[in-house]
Amino acid sequence: MPGFLIDLDGTLYRGTERIDCAAEFIQWLQERRMPYLFVTNNSSRTPAQVSGHLRLMGIDAEPAQVMTSGLAAAEYIRRHTGKRQTGRTVYLIGENGLEQALKAAGLNIADQEQPDFVVQGIDRKFTYDKLNLAVRYILSGAQYILTNPDHMLPANGGAIPGAGAIAASIRTASGMEPVIIGKPSPIMINYAVEQLRLPLEDIWVVGDNLDTDICGGHAAGCRTALVLTGVSKADDLKRWMEMKGTAPDLVSANLRELINHFESFV
């Protein structure tokens, strides 16, 4: 039986607009008792906020079913520091979801002392002072953790700069590359795979973005399904396959077509 790691924006919704058949797709998974998780590069929201947003659009979701890049960043640091009480201070550039994830992992957030980690996500109150402190701390030995490299985010029918745009300034000034947690890095997907407890060959990453969802799924060793409801379009596919030397395992015009494909397996 397959399991699914499902992207959100562009796959199940666009901002506050539910994508056609999104609720039906989740209901279909539940009726067949197929395991799944929602996996998002968005670090600004807590799992409760993400699930609440989904429920407002009529898509059934619980906080425990949500993996964010903020949660994965906190888990990465937790695993690399173990149970020791030292080496667990963080300078945070980010919003509520990331802050809550770090605190829940027992990490200490500080901005007046040299931290062990600089953790950066989307921050719509990013300032020159924050840039200055982040670069200073990184050059003094803090490890730089980036929740996700998205350059732009959909917002109100347009787009706004994402965490990757902020990261560009920190990388340029510091000359240091971060550990990237979210897609297309496999780190967050690997943590989600552990939760599903299925063989890799049975897990499908479903998403709308070739450069994040599909690349991330491939990097983690999962199978991948591209739905043409968001960022990537049919015209992008040939160019992407030539550039990457690989292809999604499945391409569907929409979620209804995706359901029809998997009906033959269950």
Token pair for 146: 């980036």
Residue 133 has what pLDDT?
97
Residue 112 has what pLDDT?
81
Q: Measured between alpha carbons, how far is 70 from 249 in angstroms, rounded to an integer?
A: 28
Residue 68 has phi, psi (to 5 degrees) of -105, 160
Chain centre to alpha carbon of residue 235: 25
Residue 139 has what pLDDT?
98
Q: Which residues of 173-189 are buried (b: 16+ CB within 10 A; e: fewer)?
A: ebeeebbbbbbbbbbbb
Residue 110 has phi, psi (to 5 degrees) of -145, 150
Q: Residue 194: how many CB atoms within 10 A of its CB? A: 10
Residue 73 has what pLDDT?
98
Token pair for 196: 């599903």
Give the chain's end-to-end CA distance (angstroms, integer). Answer: 8
Q: pLDDT, tens digit, for every residue of 140-191?
A: 999 999 999 999 877 666 778 999 999 999 999 999 999 999 999 999 999 9
- Say whether 88 sits in a helix, a strand or coil: coil
Residue 156 has what pLDDT?
64
Which segments in the chain show pLDDT lower than 70? Answer: 83-86, 155-157, 265-266
Tell me the whole-structure pTM to 2 decimals: 0.94
Residue 265 has what pLDDT?
63
Residue type, 99: E
- Say whether 246 sits in a helix, a strand or coil: coil
The set of residues, in sequence order, having a beta carbon less than 8 Å from that of 43 and lying 6+ positions away, is 68, 69, 70, 73, 94, 95, 97, 98, 101, 121, 122, 147, 148, 163, 182
Residue 98 has what pLDDT?
98
Q: pLDDT, tens digit, for every residue of 119-130?
A: 999 999 999 999
Q: Give catalytic residues, as residue numbers.
A: 7, 9
Residue 87 has what pLDDT?
72
Q: Which CATH superfamily is domain 84-180 in?
A: HAD superfamily/HAD-like (3.40.50.1000)
| C-beta of residue 170 within 8 angstroms of C-beta of residue 135 | yes
Residue 147 has what pLDDT?
98
CATH assignment of 3-41+183-263, among 3.40.50.300, 3.40.50.1000, 3.10.20.600, 3.90.550.10: 3.40.50.1000
| C-beta of residue 207 within 8 angstroms of C-beta of residue 10 | yes
Residue ranges with strand state E in 203-246 = 203-207, 223-227
Domain segments of the chain as ranges: 3-41+183-263, 84-180
Tell me if 3-41+183-263 shares its fold with 84-180: yes
Residue 35 has what pLDDT?
97
Residue 182 has what pLDDT?
98
